[in-house]
Structure 1
Amino acid sequence: MNRPPAHIRFGGCELTRSRHVCAFFNSPDEAYKSSMSFISEGFACGHKAVHFVNPGSIGSHLERLQCEGVDKGSRGGASEMDE
């Protein structure tokens, strides 16, 4: 596993020691705007994640991840991140 960075961002703030978060959002766009750096930085340093996504939103979710540089091919089996 890669060494984690000193800080990971979430919602415009830097997290240092505690990197588990719980948040509530008013819209999907607000959720992605607040959490995408947390997701992409976590993957970049080798962390694993489980994403619960409505079946009708899987394609959009994968597209947003790819726009942030998250390569689905490097995140385990392709079936884990395919529709």
Structure 2
Amino acid sequence: MMRDRARHPRGPEQKIAPIIRADIPPGADPRIERIEIGHLLSMQVGLGATSGPNYGAWVASPNWVRYALSRPFADEPGGAMI
């Protein structure tokens, strides 16, 4: 029961890793564990952009979430809006 509860969004402070664990790439930066739902909503995740010159590779990737999570961090989670 507790495991199922972790997979459903509860609020902006909830970490995303338990919800999308299967899409986190192997060897991912450990800062992914600190990303919260609120960071996603405010575009303050910290991961490098998937727009501009990265857009084509992102859209062509077989898993958009995994591709986005594989981007290098440009700032800390909760930092600058990217």
**TM-score after normalising by structure 2:** 0.25
**TM-score after normalising by structure 1:** 0.25
Question: Which protein, 1 or 2, shows the higher relative CO under an 8 Å CA cutoff with sep ≥ 6?
Answer: 2
